[in-house]
Structure 1
């Protein structure tokens, strides 16, 4: 009896085509994008590629900053923080030189209260189920809507709050075993003996006391002390080449009495440590009560692109946490 292949040759051809197409499509070495298509040149679908692309964009911004300094300087010594409104009229402020042009590779959102208190963040969803999530926050002065929302939205985050002007978190946080408050101040030196009225600690000392080796989010609002404090924190890591022990920095910058020639190297120090600004918000609430004066205060949010923190590196696939859909 003739086989089915002899009786239906067209069927044989059809089966062969199906098998060939299947092997072709399932071949892991076969690109599904034609090489002559512009899509073949797009390589920023994964997290490391997105970080690299954002860094390329930010490098261009640094070059543009140098050009702007030459235009209005021509040296940093000649650049004014907030030029007077008179001829020749320079259309800039200090904030024009430092745009938040690094692209956040995740969702970007404002956590906490609208107006004063809330902070712009990048990828907070990556902390929702992180088992060793740590948040440090300094200078809250009872405005703790950011801290309260982070506690509410995460399963494991431990929030460590410090403020020597307060004796507790604000009313946003009731009783929560993951919230830890201490009436300490963040400084660039340690001064917490019995004779010290205000107990001041360096970040390094607090990490040692708490037995922490990383911080996912570091939030700082210490009324101008951020310049000395961040210098003390960052310089050892820049010298050693080691990555900073935190993934994001949310800081309010107070430029009171600052000169551009001093502010510029401080900012470049942040960049050398791996910090990249992805969002800023000039403090218009402060400006509303200080009309006619300089716009001295601005909130900046930075992501740390060095190391393997949760915002630039995916966690191991063998996580013990259940899958969440």
Structure 2
């Protein structure tokens, strides 16, 4: 009988075991979206394991991709314009119809540097989030949600995916969050029957406040995730919100924005100017989808509602930079905030 080590199968098995020994990743290595445990000694315990250089490289690369989109948009406007004032939103007289729509000019061309997760209902109510892993264990995670409509699947999934996120909800048309939020999680939610607007109107019914005023009421200086669905008031609200930040060059006070856009009674030129103000403030769309419920049932044949998710690419929010160590001041000392 031949010696076992002369058997080709034995040799191949031995070589395979050697490869496993030398090339199998050690238990100390980490992959891009590892959830760290609380045993970590610094703030790395609550963000994914991209190092500073890799994260900065991804953000820079995404900006280059988006800048190419800006040039393409100019060319598309020339083709169908040639000026913004000459572009129709939904041309009714093209064959085949429609030749293009307004959304073709504004694709979500920015690449989120982390995983993208849909949170909430698979339909109206769900939102796409960039890097929920970045706030899984973040101790001062803050979420604001405007427009509840008694449907809280999005907010409920944020609570389920994170350990510490506190959610502030606002909607003057309902009395509370929806039934999707379990009683055990009520301690991490705060609801008020206020509306979001471009100016403070505390004496009106319903009461309306700017985002800046509400943040001051709650003792917050930064929001990680901001959701806005306020039935076309997003134009007035965001126009007023971004204007001082564009003028000062300071970053907007939130990390990312989930926004439903209601394209009613606007010209293309008006919409373009509003969108470009969001871009000037540092917002970049990384995901979009049409509101198919509205499109198919409310107004068949139209596509004037769309969901967009934006990343704030200015400043040092948790989605574009790694946080400082715990020994330095946290961004939001007062996580719970005073009651408005």
TM-score (structure 2 length as normaliser): 0.78
For 2:85 and 2:75, the matched residues in 1 are separated by 15
* Misfit runs of 4+, over 2 Å: 85-91, 290-294, 316-320
Q: Which moved more, 1:77-86 or 1:203-212?
A: 77-86
For 2:96 and 2:295, the matched residues in 1 are separated by 25
Larger Rg: 1
Per the alignment, do residues 250 and 174 of structure 1 end up closer, same or farther by CA in structure 2, a change over 3 Å counting? same
Alignment of 1:94-173 (within 5 A): 94-173=102-181
- Aligned residue number for residue 306 of structure 2: 298
- Structure 2 unmatched ranges of 5 or more: 1-51, 329-340
Q: Does the Cα contact within 8 Å between 1:116 and 1:285 map onto a contact in 2?
A: yes
- Superposed CA deviations along residues 70-113 of structure 1, whole A, max 9, x for unmatched, are 00000000101111143597721000000000000000010011
- Aligned residue number for residue 186 of structure 1: 196
- Aligned residue number for residue 320 of structure 2: 312
For 2:142 and 2:96, the matched residues in 1 are separated by 50
Q: Does the Cα contact within 8 Å between 1:72 and 1:90 map onto a contact in 2?
A: no
Where relative contact order (Cα < 8 A, 6+ residues apart) is larger, the structure is 2
- Aligned residue number for residue 251 of structure 1: 259
Q: Does the Cα contact within 8 Å between 2:126 and 2:153 map onto a contact in 1?
A: yes
Q: Which moved more, 1:308-317 or 1:122-131?
A: 308-317
TM-score (structure 1 length as normaliser): 0.82
- Superposed CA deviations along residues 260-311 of structure 1, whole A, max 9, x for unmatched, are 0100010000000000000001101101113544210000000000000000
Alignment of 1:151-300 (within 5 A): 151-175=159-183, 176-193=186-203, 196-300=204-308
Per the alignment, do residues 45 and 308 of structure 1 end up closer, same or farther by CA in structure 2, a change over 3 Å counting? closer
For 1:243 and 1:52, the matched residues in 2 are separated by 17
Please, what is the CA RMSD of the aligned residues?
1.6
- Superposed CA deviations along residues 192-220 of structure 1, whole A, max 9, x for unmatched, are 22xx2211111111011001000000100
For 1:129 and 1:246, the matched residues in 2 are separated by 18
For 1:292 and 1:137, the matched residues in 2 are separated by 28
Aligned length in residues: 275
Matched residue SS, 2:187: coil
Matched residue SS, 1:177: helix
Q: Does the Cα contact within 8 Å between 1:126 and 1:310 map onto a contact in 2?
A: yes
